[in-house]
């Protein structure tokens, strides 16, 4: 068995707690769709209805400058950014570290996503930056779900953590899922492993320190049992343990492809409202069924749900980036090859 903490020579245990990173995104997306079901918003709403400052963002167009270095010109977006754009990552918002152009540099210089800044301060900072493209034009992974986290706060009048606890974690019995762990649970946290001789891992947050920033895009920690409860709710059309979290049709809507032929997605893979969605059994480089959906986290965690095979696959680990994709792909292949009936 792998170690929970290799330095301490402490083995992994069934109740170990993991940094979920981007597997936070599906949970926040479910909270948004609960608000839609309650009639408090629609996914066609402009984001500026809830976050007026976001309506001021313009699109950066990079062009070569006189000295040969790229410069940015700014134009108005073709249409407003919508809640759907945030859910499916067609907003034009980016991750600063996923590129080296002038726009990425500007985002890095702005220090987007500091632990000391609240979700409200994040949105204020973003409003002074530019978009990669006009909303709806293509798919690009970025801080869209972090902005959704702030939308949840505005609509509910509660912090994101409070809203998720009330709406999802407590009803499902997800007792170890939170933005910060109490002192008594910190020793259960799985510690990242760095492969000898490889570059250090991406900067990590301290699971025992309460940060001002409750990242809807990657700030939750949780156990394997907790996330299985969340995935089981989705696989069971929105209910688990006698508690209904979403309606059946809402789950079907979220797990359908919302990107169509937009650029930015891998062959055979679309994107729904908070999940990657497989659109074809072929085309994609890894095995799976058309209609399956799921997502992954930066430290290697992975889940997907395959309605056709009535399968939930969940992989929890904390590893460095050079081995992350290899382990995920190996796990996926092993799961698929074990399906014989």
> Average pLDDT of the chain?
93
**What pTM did the predictor assign?**
0.95
- Give pLDDT, residue 7: 63
- Give pLDDT, residue 3: 52
9: confidence class by pLDDT, cuts 50, 70, 90: low
Mean pLDDT of 170-177: 98
User: How far apart, in whole angstroms, are the C-alpha atoms of residue 46 and residue 83?
Assistant: 6
Which residues have CB under 8 Å from 332's CB, separation 6+? 286, 287, 288, 302, 313
Kindly state the tokens that stand for 249. 């049709």
Mean pLDDT of 228-250: 98
- The residue out of 94, 127, 156 marking a domain boundary is 156
4: confidence class by pLDDT, cuts 50, 70, 90: low
Mean pLDDT of 73-91: 98
Mean pLDDT of 14-18: 94
Residue-wise pLDDT tens digits, 277-305? 999 999 999 999 999 999 999 999 999 99
In 3D space, the residue among 121, 49, 38 whose CA is nearest the CA of residue 81 turns out to be: 49
Residue 261, phi then psi, degrees to nearest 5: -100, 20
In 3D space, the residue among 229, 223, 226, 231 whose CA is nearest the CA of residue 307 turns out to be: 231
- Give pLDDT, residue 217: 98
Mean pLDDT of 96-105: 90
Of 158-162, 229-233, 286-290, the range with the lowest mean pLDDT is 286-290
Residue pair 300/327 in contact by the 8 Å Cβ criterion: yes
**Is 89 a member of any domain?**
yes
Residue pair 134/78 in contact by the 8 Å Cβ criterion: yes
**Is 275 a member of any domain?**
yes
User: How far apart, in whole angstroms, are the C-alpha atoms of residue 98 and residue 147?
Assistant: 18
Please count the structural domains in the chain.
2
Domain of residue 89 covers 47-156
**Is 34 a member of any domain?**
no
DSSP for residue 217: T
Mean pLDDT of 132-157: 98
Q: Are residues 221 and 252 in the same domain?
A: yes
CATH number at residue 221: 3.40.710.10
The yes-or-no verdict on residue 193 having pLDDT over 80 is no
Mean pLDDT of 220-238: 98
Q: Are residues 176 and 297 in the same domain?
A: yes
Q: Are residues 135 and 172 in the same domain?
A: no
Q: Are residues 190 and 309 in the same domain?
A: yes
CA 256 to chain centre: 17
Q: Are residues 176 and 142 in the same domain?
A: no
End-to-end CA distance of the chain: 29
- Give pLDDT, residue 258: 98
Residue-wise pLDDT tens digits, 117-130? 999 999 999 999 99
Residue pair 79/112 in contact by the 8 Å Cβ criterion: no
């Amino acid at each position: 068995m792998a170690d929970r903490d290799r330095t301490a020579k402490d083995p992994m245990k069934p109740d170990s707690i993991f940094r979920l990173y981007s597997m936070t995104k599906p949970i926040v997306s479910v909270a948004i769709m609960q608000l839609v079901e309650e009639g408090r918003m629609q996914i066609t709403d402009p984001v500026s209805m809830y976050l007026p400052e976001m309506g001021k963002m313009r699109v950066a167009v990079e062009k070569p400058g006189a000295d040969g270095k790229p410069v940015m010109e700014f134009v108005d977006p073709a249409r407003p950014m919508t809640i759907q754009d945030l859910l499916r990552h067609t907003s034009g918002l980016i991750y600063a570290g996923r590129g080296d152009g002038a726009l990425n540099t500007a985002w890095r210089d702005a220090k987007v996503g500091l632990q000391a800044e609240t979700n409200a301060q994040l949105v204020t900072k973003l409003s002074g930056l530019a978009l990669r493209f006009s909303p709806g034009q293509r798919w690009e992974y970025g801080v869209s779900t972090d902005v959704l986290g702030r939308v949840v706060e505005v609509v509910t009048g509660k912090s994101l953590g409070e809203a998720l606890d009330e709406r999802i974690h407590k009803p499902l019995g997800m007792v170890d899922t939170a933005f910060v762990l109490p002192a008594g649970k910190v020793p259960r946290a799985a510690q990242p492993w760095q492969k000898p001789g490889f570059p250090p891992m991406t900067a990590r947050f301290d699971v025992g320190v309460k940060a001002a920033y409750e990242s809807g895009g990657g700030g939750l920690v949780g156990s394997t049992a907790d996330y299985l409860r969340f995935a089981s709710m989705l696989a069971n059309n929105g209910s688990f343990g006698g508690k209904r979290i979403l309606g059946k049709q809402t789950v079907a809507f979220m797990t359908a492809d919302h990107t169509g032929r937009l650029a930015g997605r891998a062959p055979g893979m679309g994107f729904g409202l908070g999940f990657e969605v497989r659109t074809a059994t072929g085309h994609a480089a890894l095995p799976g069924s058309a209609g399956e959906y799921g997502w992954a986290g930066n430290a290697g965690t992975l889940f997907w749900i395959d309605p056709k095979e009535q399968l939930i696959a969940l992989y929890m680990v904390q590893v460095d980036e050079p081995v992350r994709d290899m382990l995920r792909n190996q796990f996926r292949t092993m799961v698929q090859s074990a399906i014989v009936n």
